[in-house]
Chains A and B, each alone.
Chain A
Amino acid sequence: MNDFLKYFLRFIVIMAVQLLLFDGLNLGTFLYPMPYILFLLLFPCTYPSWLLMLWGFAFGIGLDMLSAGIMGLHTASLVMLGALRNSMIKIIAVKGDFDDLSVPGFRLFGYARFTLFVLMSVAVHHLVYFNLESFSFFLFWQTFIRLLCSLALNVFLVLLFKRTFFERRR
């Protein structure tokens, strides 16, 4: 229950930051800052993926309703990320890397592997998001470039926020 409360608090704070700060930023057509992706990456490594999907669904619906955009975009992307996150942890983890409580982070995986993990996660999210947003392959290259630019920005933002606010120092 304690854990649930912690996650719920995170839910509120990250959504508020996304809505009040990042949704209002106009960085042009090619850059859309979405550091809220970090929310799903902060759950422990062995957190069951069906719960991840439910968290993603709830977060996405909240974001879709409160931001001025099209319903279901963030939801679909986050559900997809929730479904695939644990498989991606398996890809980058070495046996014996983590126990039930460890959270993905720089200290657990090291800089290179954790960055790779964030890159893959944000890429999954963005693939769904931008393709659903344009909803056709008519503007394929344009969508692709938007995806790449936002990908670079968001990987940077997620790593930055992880390092600054969610990494336990000792």
Chain B
Amino acid sequence: MFNISPLLRKLLVLLLFLVLQAGAVVMLVNNSYFQQNAILGFIRARQIRWWERRSSWVAFTNLKEINQQLALENNRLLNDIARLTDPSAEKIIRTEDSVSLRDSFSYIPARVIRNSVNRQHNFLVIDKGTQDGLEQDMGVISSRGIVGVVSHVSDHYAMIISLLNTQQRFTAELKKSGTFGTLRWDGLDYRRVFLSEIPQHIEISVGDTVVSNVFSLIFPPGIPIGFVKSGSLKQGTFLELEVELFEDFKSLHYVNVVSHDGAGEIRQLIEDQQEEDL
């Protein structure tokens, strides 16, 4: 073939190696994950059909547990209805001009067709998309806690960054004191996460419930997430709490996507403010 000196040849091979490796690392750092849908939409659609078939089989084998979950949720909803239809509670019915009406949440049920718990960056795929009213940055919950946030939507499917993703942070608060902190996953155990940046004067006992934060734009307030298992002082300033999740991500089959009517408006407001500050 080519008649080149061995040294030059070695240099060329090294150069090729550096170029290929740099290409891979650039992809990694840019995290161009979601451009894949544009490039490979065709294959994705078929692949999703395969995932769907697989997940429906898995869901079938787990029917008993799912039934239990649904029964629990039904029970909770029935209690809510009973409370709301109670004549003595009539005063909480909202009127047209009430402010809280604009701040309402609605739910879109969806089925999980792809899920993982054993990577450092876990994603879910659900069978609802833009045609069902999904948008980017919507929250996703299940009957047992928060699940994640919608990161990319196609016509019929949506991709969700799971709570079990080491690069994703959520805010959560302690139900008892209302103190909020950052919820993150350390990539190790899919049953527990960490709630950090809790001031050390807050009194905490094992078993305290951790719920979603009132200031969150994507989740309704007060969704239970887990309970405190242990705590430790980090860097001498803040408490870090180990939180055991109510959610079992390994047996997650049905979720609800949260649509918050006011979220877009509030985000716009914050962006405007930030632009003014600049």
Interface residues, chain A, CB within 8 Å of chain B?
19-20, 24, 26-29, 31-32, 49-50, 53-54, 56-57, 60, 64-66, 68-73, 75-76, 79-80, 83, 132-134, 139, 142
Interface residues, chain B, CB within 8 Å of chain A?
12-13, 16-17, 20-21, 23-33, 36, 39-40, 43, 47, 50, 54, 114, 116-121, 123, 125, 166, 186-190, 250
Whether B119 pairs with A69 at a CB distance below 8 angstroms is: yes
Whether A71 pairs with B114 at a CB distance below 8 angstroms is: no
* A26-B117, A28-B118 known; A76+B24 contact, CB < 8 A: yes
Q: Taking CB as reference atom, which chain B residue is nearest A56?
A: B20
Among A32, A72, A142, the residue within 8 A (CB) of B118 is A32
Q: Which residues on B sit within 8 Å (CB–CB) of A83?
A: 13, 17
Classify the secondary structure of B's interface with A: helix
List 25 A-B pairs, Cβ < 8 Å. A19-B47, A26-B117, A26-B250, A29-B117, A31-B118, A53-B13, A54-B16, A64-B27, A65-B40, A68-B116, A69-B121, A71-B27, A71-B33, A72-B24, A76-B21, A76-B28, A79-B17, A79-B20, A79-B21, A132-B25, A133-B119, A133-B120, A134-B120, A134-B166, A142-B188
Q: Taking CB as reference atom, which chain A residue is nearest B249?
A: A26
Q: Which residues on A sit within 8 Å (CB–CB) of B121?
A: 69-70, 133
Q: Give the docked Cα–Cα distance between A69 and B162 (Å).
A: 12
Whether B13 pairs with A49 at a CB distance below 8 angstroms is: yes
Q: Taking CB as reference atom, which chain B residue is nearest A48?
A: B13
CB distance from A96 to the nearest CB of B (A): 21
* A64-B27, A65-B40, A71-B28 known; A80+B118 contact, CB < 8 A: no
Q: Give the docked Cα–Cα distance between A68 and B50 (Å).
A: 13
